[in-house]
């Protein structure tokens, strides 16, 4: 699930269009599909960039450097005519930007150095299950037996792919999977605590502000941890980072938000399930990663579990 879609589903009450306006739904469905595919391409671009000897700190800095002006513009545009941020809003934006976009992005980039793009996307797709678990632990929300079954199906699929990848790539897969799972926890934390700010500021404005914070943190992290000489990278890394910042980061935000306006968050979320499938297809065609029955079975289990969780909720 993409960042803007996940944030919006927690607050939007809009449902799917009725049969009388099904023709009007097609632009929204197309936008949701393209947004999911574009967002899922991030892992492919990161894996391609790693082939040129760049590390996670430098790679995510370049991605956020090129994305920064776009999200500053988004925050300004979405905030036109709106009240100024209060001190509480500023603190909330800082915290949500740190957890939801900076920490989650960095851990994800670091994990991709050790695992396949297919496994990374399946782990990230567990976000709704973690939101459900946090709701139960932090707020005492009831979890039904059906929801537990859905969780078991999803995690069974991830463990299936993880176990197969460990036998092929070795024990370092566990480190990569742990980093990406920590990224998923970080982003789920953002979703759990962002609901009130989404209602106060709006999803687009909050996304623009929080991502701007993350961009600044990623750039600052590079300046602290790396010498300026580390800016010298292969030209391919620069172009891949530009592509990542625009096509796979900023563009999906706009496409998914426009899709939600047209078809509602629920239908947009269901359409977003194409994300893991597109990641696996691109990883096979572009990266040359193997496609096996284990990956197919694991993907089917994860998508089935998330679908059941949405249906029974």
140: left (phi over 0), alpha (psi -120 to 50) or beta: left
17 falls within a domain: no
- Which of 9-23, 91-105, 144-158, 287-301 is least confident? 9-23
* Contact criterion met (CB below 8 Å) for 65 and 278: no
pLDDT, mean of residues 123-151:
83
In a domain, residue 45? The reply is: yes
**In which band, very low, low, confident or very high, does the pLDDT at 129 lie, cut at 50, 70 and 90?**
confident
Give the number of residues written for the chain: 313
For 215-251, what is each residue's pLDDT tens digit?
Answer: 999 999 999 999 999 999 999 999 999 999 999 989 9
Tokens of 149: 């079954």
Side-chain-facing half-sphere of 251: CA atoms under 13 Å? 18
pLDDT band at residue 48 under the 50/70/90 scheme: very high
Neighbours of 28 (CB within 10 A): 23
Note whether residue 212 is domain-resident.
yes
Which residue blocks in the chain are alpha helix, DSSP H?
3-9, 22-50, 56-78, 87-97, 104-111, 117-124, 127-139, 145-169, 172-201, 203-225, 235-245, 251-263, 265-271, 274-285, 293-312
Decide if 231 is inside a domain: yes
Q: Is 19 exposed, middle or buried (0-12, 13-18, 19+ CB in 10 A)?
A: exposed
pLDDT at 8 over 70: no
Residue 32 lies in a domain: yes
Tokens of 174: 């566990």
177 is a domain residue: yes
Ranges 17-21, 26-30, 238-242, 305-309, most confident: 238-242
The answer to whether residue 206 scores a pLDDT higher than 50 is yes
Averaged confidence pLDDT in the chain: 84
**Cα–Cα distance measured from residue 280 to residue 290, given in angstroms and rounded to the nearest whole number:** 9
Overall pTM surpassing 0.85 (yes/no):
no
Half-sphere exposure of 254 (CA within 13 A, CB side): 14
For the cut 50, the answer to whether the pLDDT of residue 266 exceeds it is yes
Domain of 269, in residue numbers: 3-12+24-312
278 part of a folded domain = yes
Q: Nearest Cα to 122, choosing from 312, 310, 297, 309?
A: 297
Per the domain annotation, does 19 fall within a domain?
Answer: no
Q: What is the mean pLDDT of residues 118-127?
A: 86
Q: Which of 28-37, 114-123, 178-187 has the highest mean pLDDT?
A: 178-187
Half-sphere exposure of 268 (CA within 13 A, CB side): 35
Domains in the chain, number: 1
Place of tokens 């990663």: 289
């Amino acid at each position: 699930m993409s960042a803007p879609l996940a944030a919006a589903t927690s607050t939007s009450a809009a449902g799917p269009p009725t049969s009388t306006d099904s023709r009007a739904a097609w632009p929204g469905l197309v936008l949701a599909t393209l947004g999911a595919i574009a967002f899922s391409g991030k892992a492919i671009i990161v894996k391609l960039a790693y082939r040129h000897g760049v590390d996670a700190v430098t790679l995510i800095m370049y991605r956020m450097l090129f994305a920064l002006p776009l999200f500053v513009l988004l925050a300004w545009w979405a905030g036109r005519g709106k009240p100024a941020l209060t001190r509480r809003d500023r603190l909330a934006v800082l915290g949500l930007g740190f957890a939801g976009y900076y920490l989650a992005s960095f851990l994800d980039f670091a994990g991709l150095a050790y695992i396949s793009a297919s496994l990374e996307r399946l782990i990230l797709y567990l976000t709704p299950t973690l939101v459900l678990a946090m709701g139960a632990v932090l707020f005492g929300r009831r979890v039904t037996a059906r929801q537990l079954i859905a969780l078991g199906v999803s995690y069974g699929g991830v463990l299936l792919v993880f176990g197969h990848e460990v036998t092929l790539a070795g024990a370092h897969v566990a480190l990569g999977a742990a980093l990406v799972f920590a990224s998923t926890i970080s982003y789920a934390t953002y979703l759990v605590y962002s609901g009130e700010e989404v209602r106060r500021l709006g999803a687009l404005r909050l996304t623009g502000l929080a991502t701007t914070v993350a961009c600044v943190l990623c750039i600052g992290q590079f300046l602290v941890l790396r010498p300026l000489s580390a800016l010298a990278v292969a030209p391919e890394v620069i172009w891949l980072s530009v592509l990542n910042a625009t096509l796979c980061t900023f563009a999906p935000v706009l496409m998914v938000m426009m899709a939600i306006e047209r078809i509602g968050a629920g239908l947009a979320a269901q359409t977003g399930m194409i994300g893991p499938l597109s990641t696996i297809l691109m990883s096979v065609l572009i990266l040359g990663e193997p496609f096996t029955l284990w990956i197919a079975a694991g993907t089917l289990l994860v998508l089935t579990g998330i679908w059941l969780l949405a249906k029974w909720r």
